[in-house]
Amino acid sequence: MGRLNLTTLDGEKTAVETETIDSFRAGLRGALLVEGDPGYDEARSVWNAMVDRRPGLIARCAGAADVVKAVQFARDNRLLVAVRGGGHNIGGNAVCEGGLMIDLSPMKSVRVDQGRQRAWVEPGATLADVDKETLAFGLVVPTGINSTTGIAGLTLGGGFGWITRKFGLTIDNLLSADVVTADGELVRTNAAERPDLFWAICGGGGNFGVVTAFEFRLHELSGGEVLSGLVVHPFSEAATVLEEYKQALSAAPDELTCWVVMRKAPPLPFLPVEWHGKEVLVLAMCYCGDIESGQRATARLRGIGKPIADVVAPHPFVGWQQAFDPLLTPGARNYWKSRDFTALSGQTVSVLIDAIGKLPDPECEVFIGHVGGAAGRIAVEATAFPQRSSHFVMNVHGRWRDKAKDGACVAWAREIFEKTKAEAAGTAYVNFMPEDEPDRVEAAYGVNYRRLAEVKRRYDPANLFRMNQNIRPKEAPRPM
């Protein structure tokens, strides 16, 4: 009888009998993989190429029953657990070294009830899966901006993108969820059933269990079309463009979102060849209402300066959701640093302008997400996600291919992060946080952290689900 050495919650090794593993495998509808099995390397590969970990076991779950069995197996053997949805997390938390990886990627079902405007989504679905299904009925749920992102991780961290200002965060449209808790029980949670758990998963990440199904509220999107596209400016005009950008957004309707991207211009077909590889500032905008109204609403932004190109036009929303996919393909090395801002000060703008002049790789960039609107009109304590007053989210996106550039690209991102600290709001979007920021988690959740730690104690007192932006369980009060 053989044994397999697996990593425990304490980082030690435990020998698990082959017979025990075979029994676990036999009880699954999906597959259980070990190193050397066909599909093992594909299953352990995640979006960020800096992450190269080898789980001892990979449970490729076919349904909720498999997830229950996997959590029970991990609990009974005190194994380190990672949970993979889309595998897009910047910190690589979807895969662990030597423990059990619970792979939800085979669970991709999306079911739409057009009449009730509801969608039921399994955790392995990507944003593209969700968009294609809901938009076939002229309906949407607000999600992110990269279609290969997994719906599960995006939702559990909050979720924001092009239509957040109109319809709220992804979690603001979550109605219920099925969750496998740390004791291996499958439970349903919503505002009425286990409301403490529902509150916690609305922004608290994967700390409280494994979600096996999400129920979302959907919204009508007339014709499935938006007014969207890019306006590209020379970077030499960045200070002026950003100042006018801020002024234009002060009166922006909820239907309008405009993000800023600062980087070296990729070889886009609508850009003159002489601009390829040169620093540019891009206004990426989306208006999710009547197209004619959108033309008026975007006029001020499109009238800024003398752009190199303006390709704003009506587009199918399902296509616009994939517009940035070519710049965010898997296989590159990535390191991010992020901050929230209630406003963009002159000092912050100066730091960013200086940083773009020092780009360590052509794929590195800084983007500023424009939020607020409907998402900002939710009370801070209403969900675990706390940064309701943040109007802008900055993401310093270090991205490169050559491992030899690791030091330079990481240092570049960290320098910007430190230099923008004084003007930042203090909270953070946990989906943008790398794995080296565990001390920042409490600040990221602000006034909601203590309640999250209490919910964690009730649902996961042993901290089984720790491969995440971890919220440690609050210690139980000592008996008198």
Give the CATH number of the domain where residue 206 resides.
Answer: 3.30.465.10
Q: In terms of Cα–Cα distance, which of 468, 444, 227, 241 is closest to 352?
A: 241
Which domain CATH number covers 407? Answer: 3.40.462.20
Looking at 103, 137, 167, the residue that finishes a domain is 103
Query: Mean pLDDT across the stretch 285-307?
Result: 97
- Average pLDDT score over residue span 105-130: 98
Exposed e or buried b for every residue in 124-160, given b needs 16+ CB within 10 A? bbbbbbbbebbbebbbbbbbbbbbbbbbbbbbbbbbb
Give bridge partners of residue 230 from the DSSP assignment: 284
Cβ atoms 156, 198 nearer than 8 A: no
Residue 45, domain CATH: 3.30.43.10
16 with 165, same domain: the answer is: no
Does the residue 449 lie in any domain? Answer: no
Q: Could you tell me the two tokens for 69?
A: 């069995």
Do the domain assignments include residue 470?
no
Q: Which of 213, 242, 210, 278 minimizes the C-alpha distance to 368?
A: 242
Whether 279 and 186 map to the same domain: the answer is no
Q: Is the pLDDT of residue 443 over 90?
A: yes
Locate 245 and state its tokens: 């950008």
Average pLDDT over residues 444-454: 96
CB atoms within 10 A of CB 45: 17
Per-residue pLDDT, 479: 44
Are residues 53 and 19 part of one domain?
Answer: yes
Confidence band for 212, pLDDT divided at 50, 70 and 90: very high
pLDDT, residue 80, reads 98
Q: By CB neighbour count within 10 A (0-12 exposed, 13-18 middle, 19+ buried), where does 447 fall?
A: exposed
Q: Is the pLDDT of residue 1 over 60?
A: no
The pLDDT tens digits for 21-68 are: 999 999 999 999 999 999 999 999 999 999 999 999 999 999 999 999
- On whether residue 474 sits in a domain, the answer given is no
- The DSSP-derived string for 262-280 is EEEPP--TTS-GGGTTSEE
Q: According to the model, what pLDDT value does residue 222 have?
A: 82
Mean pLDDT over 343-371 rounds to 96
* Percent over 90 (pLDDT), the chain: 96
Residue 471 is assigned to a structural domain of this protein: no
Residue 456 inside a domain? The answer is no
Model confidence pLDDT, tens digit, residues 470-480: 999 987 554 44
Quick one: 143 and 203 in the same domain?
yes
Average pLDDT over the chain reads 96
Q: Are residues 279 and 246 in the same domain?
A: yes
- The mean per-residue pLDDT over the stretch 226-241 comes to 98
Judge if 370 and 243 occupy the same domain.
yes
Residue 462 pLDDT class (50, 70, 90 cuts): very high
Residues 216 and 172: their CA atoms lie apart, in Å, by 9
Query: Is the CB of residue 177 less than 8 Å from the CB of residue 211?
Result: yes
CA–CA gap between residue 255 and residue 165 (Å, rounded): 7
pLDDT at position 476 = 57
Strands (E), 148-224: 174-180, 186-190, 210-217, 219-220
Q: Given a cut of 80, is residue 259 above it in pLDDT? A: yes
The answer on 266 and 162 residing in a single domain is: no
Residue 188 pLDDT: 98
What gap in Å lies between CA 156 and CA 134, rounded to an integer?
20
pLDDT at 478: 47
Radius of gyration of the chain (CA): 22
Quick: pLDDT tens for 134-193: 999 999 999 999 999 999 999 999 999 999 999 999 999 999 999 999 999 999 999 999
36 and 116, same domain (yes or no): no
Q: Considering only CA atoms, which of 348, 356, 402, 349 is closest in space to residue 264?
A: 356
CA-to-CA separations, 17 to 6, 22, 33, 73, 77, in angstroms, rounded: 10, 9, 15, 13, 11
Q: Answer yes or no: are the C-beta atoms of 242 and 349 closer than 8 Å.
A: yes
- Does 454 map to a domain? no
**Given a cut of 80, is residue 101 above it in pLDDT?**
yes
| 205 and 326 assigned to the same domain | no
pLDDT at 480: 42
Q: Quick check: is 90 in a domain?
A: yes
Residues 6+ apart with CB under 8 A from 273: 267
Residue 463 included in any domain = no
Q: Same domain, yes or no, for 252 and 395?
A: yes
351 and 251 in one domain? yes
C-alpha span between 32 and 122 (Å, rounded)? 20
Range of the domain at 47: 3-103
Last-in-domain residue among 404, 422, 438: 438
The type of residue at 369 is: G
Q: Are residues 124 and 74 in the same domain?
A: no
pLDDT the model gives residue 393 = 95
Choosing from 195, 220, 245, the residue where a domain stops is 220
Mean pLDDT of 329-356: 95
How many domains are contained in the chain?
A: 3
